[in-house]
Structure 1
Amino acid sequence: MHNIEPYSGWLKHYDSANDPLSPFHGKEYNYNLYSETIYGYYIDPAWDNFGSETLYLKTLFADYDLGYVILEFIGEWNDAINNDIMNLKRNILDELQLEGINKYILIGENVLNFHGSDDSYYEEWLEDVEDGWIVGIGFRDFVVEEMTNYNVDGYINFGGSLDIQNWRTVKPLSLCQAIDSLVMKRLGM
């Protein structure tokens, strides 16, 4: 797991450590020290801890004027034991919402498992986005299937034209705008 790094190709467009509105503003990364682990396996120091023992994230892009954020995840999303959605909601999403974020792109290529619980935090999150949306891209089929079993797909849009596999080949704002257009078509707007 220590070989899996968050996508760094957009650092010239956005760096959460340099963003005064980011929950990770001012964080200093020691790329020579591997200290964070998931189930005893070290992970790359570039991933950010938001209070979960098994799930980490990286903010790849944020545009507060347009309301977009792109979050990449690694690990096991475990709402049943660790209440990861609560930690994510209270420690990251609530702060982003206060800064005007209402359109969320979640990249889940490195989410290796999902364990669900109730959907109250997802429901709260969707209510908070008002005119926005939440989209998951790159999640493994069995993870989406398990999320669907817990009705998470009622809050996070997955699949179809939204599952953009080549997201790394476009600029972050272009990805946000493309997904926004696809969501609006899906909603018939």
Structure 2
Amino acid sequence: MHDLIPYENWLKYYKPEDDERSPFYGKTYNFDLYTDNIYGYYIDPAWDYIGSDTLYAKLLYVDYERSTCIIEFIGEWNDAITNDSMHLKRNVIDPLINEGINKFLLIGENVFNFHGDDDSYYEEWFDDIEDGWICAVGFHEHVYQEWKNYGIDSYIDFGGSLELINWRTFKPAMLMERISREFSKRLGL
């Protein structure tokens, strides 16, 4: 797992540690020392701790003018034991919403499992972003299936034309524009 790193090609557009409005503002990264781990497997120091021992994230891009952000994840999304949705909502999502972000793209190629429990934090998140949306890309099919089993697909949209496996070929603003257009089509706007 230590070889799995957050997407780096957008660092020229955005660095959360340099953004005063980011929940990760001021963080310093020591790439000579691996300290964080998930179930005993060390992860790259570029991943950010969100309050959960099983799920880490990287804020890849934020555009405050367009109210958008892109977040990549690694680990096991475990709501049943470690209440990861609560940690994510309180420590990352709420600060971003307070800064006007209401469109969220979640990238989950490195999320290996999902263990559901209650959907209340997803519902709260959805209610907090009235005119926005939450979209997931790249999660494994069994994670999407578990989301469906727990009703999370009522709050997070994924699949079909939103499943852009080539998301890395876009610049971040262009990717968010593409996702926004897909939501407009789905909503008939």
Q: 1:26 & 1:121 partners in 2: Cα distance?
A: 27
Structure 1 residue 188: deviation in Å?
A: 1.2
> Hey, what does 1:96 align to over in structure 2?
96
Map of 2:117 onto structure 1: 117
- In 2, Cα distance between equivalents of 1:4 and 1:70: 18
Cα distance in 2 for partners of 1:185, 1:179 equals 10
**Cα displacement string for residues 14-61 of structure 1 (whole angstroms, at most 9, x for unaligned residues):** 000111100001100001110000000000000000100100000000
1:77 Cα deviation from its structure 2 partner: 0.1
3-state secondary structure, aligned to 1:28? coil
How far does the alpha carbon of each residue in 1:57-78 deviate from its partner, in whole angstroms, 9 at most, with x for none?
0000000111000000000000
* Structure-2 residue corresponding to 1:143: 143
Equivalent residue, structure 2, for 1:47: 47
Segments of structure 1 that go 5 or more residues without pairing to the other structure are none
CA deviations on 1:112-158 (whole Å, 9 max, x unpaired) are: 00000111110000001100000000010011001110011110001
TM-score, normalised relative to structure 2: 0.99
Tell me the secondary structure at the aligned position of residue 157 of structure 2.
Answer: coil
Shift of 1:184: 1.1
Give the aligned partner of residue 127 of structure 1: 127
| Paired residue type of 1:72 | E
What is the rounded CA distance, in whole Å, between the counterparts of 1:134 and 1:165 in structure 2?
A: 17
**What's 1:36 paired with?**
36
Question: What residue identity is the alignment partner of 2:95?
Answer: E
CA–CA distance in structure 1, aligned partners of residues 9 and 65 of structure 2: 22
Residues 73-126 of structure 1 deviation map (CA, whole Å, 9 limit, x = unaligned): 000000000000000001110000000000000000000000001111100000
Alignment of 1:1-189 (within 5 A): 1-189=1-189
| Count, aligned residues | 189
* SS of residue paired to 2:145: helix
Amino acid at match of 2:53: E
Segments of 4+ in structure 1 off by > 2 A? Answer: none
**SS of residue in 2 equivalent to 1:179:** helix
Distance 2:187 2:73 in 1: 26
Which AA in structure 1 matches 2:159?
G
Q: Give, as a single letter, the amino acid of the residue that structure 1 aligns with 2:136.
A: G
Distance 2:52 2:185 in 1: 35
Secondary structure of 1:96's aligned partner: helix
| Partner Cα distance (1:184, 1:150) in 2 | 26
Q: CA RMSD in A?
A: 0.5
SS of alignment partner, residue 5 of structure 2: coil
Q: Which amino acid aligns with 1:76?
A: E
Which letter does structure 1 place at the counterpart of 2:171?
Answer: K
